[in-house]
Amino acid sequence: MRSDARVLLTSVFGPYAQDDEYGSRAVNPMELYHNQVTREQRAFSLRMFHRSWGLMLIQSNIDAPCTLLDFPTMDRFIQEIAAHPYDIVGIGAIQPNVGKVQKMCELVRQHLPDATIVVGGHVANLPGLDEQIDADHIVKGEGVRWMRRFLSEDEDRPIRHPHVLSGIGARTMGVSLERRPGDTAATLIPSVGCPMGCNFCATSAMFGGKGKFFHFYETGDELFEVMCELEEAMRVRSFFVMDENFLSYRKRALRLLDLMAENDKPWALYVFSSANVLCRYTMEQLVALGVSWVWMGLEGPGADYVKLKGIDTRRLVRTLQSHGIHV
């Protein structure tokens, strides 16, 4: 594909989680906050929305002219493809939205018959997807390098980090939780994939599974530079670290800790971590690194995962909490 190709990136159209002809709600009736993470809070359960970070990352890292539609309605999507001669239409989706991807591919063929359709995101791992949708390329795994390569651009040049708030429209009981700029953490994406490769894990499988991961920022120095840039541009001091197992890259994390201390940066980090990885740090290191919130998945006692072997998880959680870390 020529490097000046006109690119449209889009998430699937809303409204979402409806009992409609596209079947998203029938495929997956779960909602991350309301009936999973904060379900015990019942009426006070959180409601919040997240941008399509993968599409934003691709848009920020290609030279080709690129438009991004995030959460369009179907009418808005049709308006865009009817009015502009895009060469490439990239659609990002999760698996429950496969019916919408199918519909969007049909619409692109109708309005832009010469365009190349690229489909990525978690939906790409759906078995038999190529028979369900009319796409030219179904891309599994890391999309920035793929898109750069497809556009004949240099795939190895440094990654520009987009400015993305970790959540938007946060509210409980209809009352907004957003008060002033800086209250919401910036999203930080150091790496994708998780080398632990638990056999049920979609995010690990998405990027190659056990032993596989991809670093956007290899070193603590690179990461520190990006965080300084986000801090200044977005007026934030906290980072939602969107990396499945950020602390498992110990050398990078400890170098970041050194740089934070040297440069007097009392940032807060919200991280995902497996129990065995947390145990490789002292509490002092975790606190100094600003780890103030940890999301840790614990499987049942019958599960035989290395990440839980020999670890007293109750004690670990109590120790983290006694150091001011939310678990």
Which one among 297, 311, 317, 327 touches ligand SF4, defined by CB under 6 A? 297
Which of 51-59, 171-179, 189-197, 284-292 is the region at the interface with ligand SF4 (rule: CB under 6 A)?
189-197
Closer by beta carbon to ligand SF4, 222 or else 244? 244
Among 143, 124, 291, which residue's Cα sits nearest to residue 214? 143
244 binds ligand SF4 (CB under 6 A): yes
Q: How far is the CB of 203 from ligand SF4 (least distance, A)?
A: 6
Binding mask 145-184 for ligand SF4 (x = CB under 6 A): ----------------------------------------
Binding mask 21-60 for ligand SF4 (x = CB under 6 A): ----------------------------------------
276 binds ligand SF4 (CB under 6 A): no
Which of 93-101, 177-185, 200-208, 282-290 is the region at the interface with ligand SF4 (rule: CB under 6 A)?
200-208
307 binds ligand SF4 (CB under 6 A): yes
Question: Amino acid letter at 323?
Answer: H
274 binds ligand SF4 (CB under 6 A): yes
Which one among 123, 188, 194, 271 touches ligand SF4, defined by CB under 6 A? 194
Would you state the structure tokens that stand for residue 305, as one six-digit string?
């995962």
191 binds ligand SF4 (CB under 6 A): no
Would you state the structure tokens that stand for residue 156, as one six-digit string?
């190895």
Which of 94-102, 142-150, 194-202, 280-288 is the region at the interface with ligand SF4 (rule: CB under 6 A)?
194-202
Closer by beta carbon to ligand SF4, 97 or else 274? 274
Q: How far is the CB of 302 from ligand SF4 (least distance, A)?
A: 16
Would you state the structure tokens that stand for residue 306, as one six-digit string?
């290395």
189 binds ligand SF4 (CB under 6 A): no
Question: Amino acid letter at 232?
Answer: E
Q: How many CA atoms lie within 13 A of 231 on its CB side?
A: 14
Q: How far is the CB of 241 from ligand SF4 (least distance, A)?
A: 13
203 binds ligand SF4 (CB under 6 A): yes
Q: How far is the CB of 240 from ligand SF4 (least distance, A)?
A: 15
Which of 142-150, 171-179, 197-205, 287-295 is the region at the interface with ligand SF4 (rule: CB under 6 A)?
197-205
User: β-strands 137-138, 116-120: how paired?
Assistant: parallel
- Looking at residue 36, what DSSP letter applies? I
Interacting residue ranges for ligand SF4, rule: CB under 6 A: 194, 196-198, 201, 203-204, 244-245, 274, 297, 307
